[in-house]
Amino acid sequence: MPTLSPRALPASPASRHKTVVIADDSVVVRGLFARWLGEAGNFHVVAVAGDGETAVAHATRFKPDVMVLDLDMPGVDGAAALPQILKESPNTGILLAAMLNERNTRLALECMTRGAMDVVSKPDSRSGMTLSLDFRSEFLLKLGNIVQAPVRPGSLPPEIDTDLPHAGPTNLRPLVSVMPRYLVIGASTGGPRAVAKVLFDIGEGLNDLTTVVVQHMPPLFTASFAEQVAAHIGVPAREPFDGERLMRGTVYIAPGGRHLGIDRRLGHIVARIGDEPPVNFCRPAVDVLFSEAARHLGPAALGLVLTGMGSDGTTGADALRKAGAAVIAQDEPSSTIWGMPGSVVRARRASAVIALDEIGASIRCLVRGVQTA
C-alpha cells in the first residue's frame, strides 16, 4: 500500500476535483484514505498532516474543500485544531474520523456543535479498516455529502412558490389552526449544532411543548447527544423507551439505529421504538416520526426540518400538512446542507422557510402567545 508523508502534494489541474487535506497521525490510515479518494475519481488530496498544528498550516495554505480530521493525534489533536482550522479556512467542511469510545464520542459531538459537519467511526483494528467495505462506503458517502454544493438562493425552478414566509422573526400564528403541543424535529448533516441552537432559543417555551427529535446518528452517539442537549438547554433530554409516555417539558432523542415513532396506547401518547427496515436509507428516519405524528397528533404537532443531506422528512411533511399541522423548513443560507429542508420546500410542503437564527424565537413567540412582525 502506498504511504503519504505529512507534506504538501502536487496540485491537481482538474478544477472539477474537490480538494482534500487528510490529517491523521497514522501513515497507514493517510495512505488508505488517499487511495480511496483517488479511486473515487472526483477528489484530489492536496496535502496530508500527522498532527493538528500541520493541519492548521495546510488549511491556511490550501483552503481545501474538505478536511478529514482525526481526533486522536499527538501534540495538538483534532479537537484543539478545529477552531483554528475553521478560522483560517471557514469554507472548509470538516469530516471527523476517530475510533469512537466514550471519550471520543463526547468530543466529536462537541466538535459538531463547533463547526465540524460529520463524523466517521474508524474500525478498532487496522485489518478491520482495510477490509471493511462498509467503512469505505460510509467514508466516501459522508465526504461526498460534505462537498456537495447546496442549492443556491434563486435557483429554484420557476414553478416553485417563492412567496413563503422567509427569514426574519416570523409570526407563525396564522399558519396553525390550533396551538401546537408537540414539536417534531428532523435533522441530519449539521444537525447537532442546529438542533441545540433551536432548542436553546426556544428557551422557556420548551416547557409548553413535548419535543421529539430524529437526528441521523450512529447508536453510540445519541445517548451522549441527549446528555449534551440537556446540559445546553437546561431541560430534561433523553432517549425514550418503547411505550414511554411522552411528557411536556422533555426532549426525546431517537436512539441511534432504531426508528422513533409516536403511538397512542390506553389514551396516552407514547414513544414507539422499532427495528423496521431503514426508510430513505435511514434508521431512525424522519419520515417515520412525522408520519406517525400526523396520524396521532394531527394539528397539535408542529414539524421542523433542519439541515441535512437527502430527502428524509418530505413524505412525512406531506402527511403533517394533510393532517392540518404546520411545517417549518430551515432556509438555505443557514443550512449546512440544504437537502432535507430544500426537498420539503420543492414539494410545497413548507408552511414557512426561516433562517436558523430565527426559528427558535419564532416558535417561542408562538407557544408563548407573543406576536412577531
Q: What is the CA radius of gyration of the chain?
A: 21
Could you tell me which residues come within 8 angstroms of residue 311 by beta carbon, excluding any fewer than 6 positions away?
A: 280, 339, 340, 343
How does DSSP classify residue 338?
B
First-residue to last-residue Cα distance in the chain = 61
As a whole number of angstroms, the distance between CA 62 and CA 65 comes to 9
Q: Which amino acid is at 230?
A: A
Q: Are strands 43-49 and 352-354 parallel, antiparallel or unpaired?
A: unpaired
Q: Are strands 118-121 and 43-49 parallel, antiparallel or unpaired?
A: unpaired
- DSSP E strand boundaries for the chain: 18-23, 43-49, 66-70, 93-98, 118-121, 182-187, 210-215, 237-238, 251-253, 259-265, 268-274, 301-305, 326-330, 352-354
Q: Which amino acid is at 339?
A: G
CA atoms within 13 A on the CB side of 358: 20
Identify whether the C-beta of residue 283 lies closer than 8 Å to the C-beta of residue 258: yes
Catalytic residue ranges: 188, 216, 312
Helix (H, G, I), strand (E, B) or coil at 289: helix
